[in-house]
Amino acid sequence: MELPGEALRILKLNEAHNKWRREETVNLIASENLTSPLVDSLYLSDAMHRYAEGLPFKRFYQGTKYIDEIEVLCEELMRKLFKAKYIDVRPISGTIANGAVFYALGKSGDTTCICPLPGGGHVSHSKYGIMGALGLKPLPLPFNVEEFNIDVEGASKLIKEVRPKFVVLGASVILFPHPVKELGDAANEVGSKIIFDAAHVLGLIAGGKYPNPLSEGANVVTSSTHKTFPGPQGGVILTNEEEIYKKVKKVVFPVFVSNHHLHRLAATAMAAVEMLYFGEAYASQIIKNAKRLAECLYNRGFKVLGEKKGFTETHQVLLDVRELGGGTKVALMLEKANIIVNKNMLPWDRPEDIKNPSGIRIGVQEVTRIGMREGDMEVLAEYFYKVLIKREDPAKVAEEVREFRGKFKELLYTFK
């Protein structure tokens, strides 16, 4: 039988998406990345059809003997990479990892402290996300806009006052390392735990270019595995404390996952091997590129946050685009020019500003993976300038961007 119209439409849309996002556009979404062909080859496997509830070698299903070995190997590699004693690789996303840890460490009605949403906190940490759904009561920590970071003095005071069950650090917008050590001291004093959500910076930690939160005093790290860490979409929990691990593993299954999407495991393990061998070079180039892009944008008249501190120490660059029409308009204009970013709240935005926040968030981890270096950041900044300040026709710039993107055919920081 010939393929029916519906099937052809699915194929066509999928092909169009792949061509657009992989060949024609420059992707600067800070929470995404590309997996290598090696990782891709493992992801599309029979394991995607199988079930393996429970822990390796203690499953509720037969047929998992190789999956069990792969899961154990994935755990070993990730433990080595992040210098952690205990790990759970079963959460299927960062939000699920957060849910499991919040549920294991707190109970409905408990007070917690978080990085405020406009300061970059993730929605899962907030009353709108899994934190709120679990009945936990998150209080935003004070945020210092100049420093683009949590205000240590104010936050320590608040932690000592409210004695939260736990404090969640780490964020979706993070230019500079959060003060884990300093707030860990305050938390310790009142018996609170520190959870660090490393989703955005996991790859930088693997490469030794962002402080390892476990060494800085975090009790537990949650993360996704597909931002600066270039694995397939998934989640992970890391800790050095047996008591926490025991609680968490009982919650991940059966509360937050039944099956844990088994084709992720070999692919995540291979991404960990890539990071063991290439992580330092990759993380270091990401940060060089982010700094250079920030400088180039600043030199062209953009309002780049974090100026006093050298703009960024991560993969991210933040622009205040209020004078250019706001985050929504700017993100759409850039999309028309084949540059993909997302609009983002900035620290002064109110909840009602979510539809047109002040900022856009840029991440350079994906363009770094396809081989862009500092000189290429000049080129990208010039495209921003042409579209947003010179107001050139975005369709014309889109052609230039498509041609520029076409030069980067390889994917680096993997085995050939």
Chain contacts with ligand DSN (rule: CB under 6 A): 31, 94, 122, 172, 199
Q: Any idea how long the chain is?
A: 416
Q: How far is the CB of 20 from ligand DSN (least distance, A)?
A: 19
Instruction: Tell which residue, 283, 287, 268, 277, has the closest CA to residue 414.
Output: 277
Q: How far is the CB of 190 from ligand DSN (least distance, A)?
A: 29
Instruction: Tell which residue, 7, 33, 18, has the closest CA to residue 224.
Output: 33
Instruction: Name which of 54 and 327 has its Cβ closer to ligand DSN.
Output: 327
Output the CA torsion sign for 28, 373, 411, 50. negative
Q: What's the helix, strand, coil split of the chain in %, to 5?
A: 50, 15, 35
| Rounded distance between C-alpha atoms, residue 130 and residue 244, angstroms | 19
Q: What's 39-76 look like in SS3?
A: HHHHHCCHHHHCCCCEECCEECCCCCHHHHHHHHHHHH
Instruction: Name which of 172 and 285 has its Cβ closer to ligand DSN.
Output: 172
Q: How far is the CB of 99 from ligand DSN (least distance, A)?
A: 13
Tokens 């996303």: give the residue: 93
Residue nearest to ligand DSN (CB): 31
Q: How far is the CB of 126 from ligand DSN (least distance, A)?
A: 12
Instruction: Name which of 49 and 355 has its Cβ closer to ligand DSN.
Output: 355
Q: How far is the CB of 360 from ligand DSN (least distance, A)?
A: 12
Instruction: Name which of 156 and 344 has its Cβ closer to ligand DSN.
Output: 344
Instruction: Name which of 91 and 394 has its Cβ closer to ligand DSN.
Output: 91
Instruction: Name which of 236 and 398 has its Cβ closer to ligand DSN.
Output: 236
| Rounded distance between C-alpha atoms, residue 273 and residue 223, angstroms | 18
Q: How far is the CB of 19 from ligand DSN (least distance, A)?
A: 23
Secondary structure (DSSP) of 113-181: EE--GGGT--GGGSTTSHHHHTT-EEEEPPEETTTTEE-HHHHHHHHHHH--SEEEE--SS-SS---HH
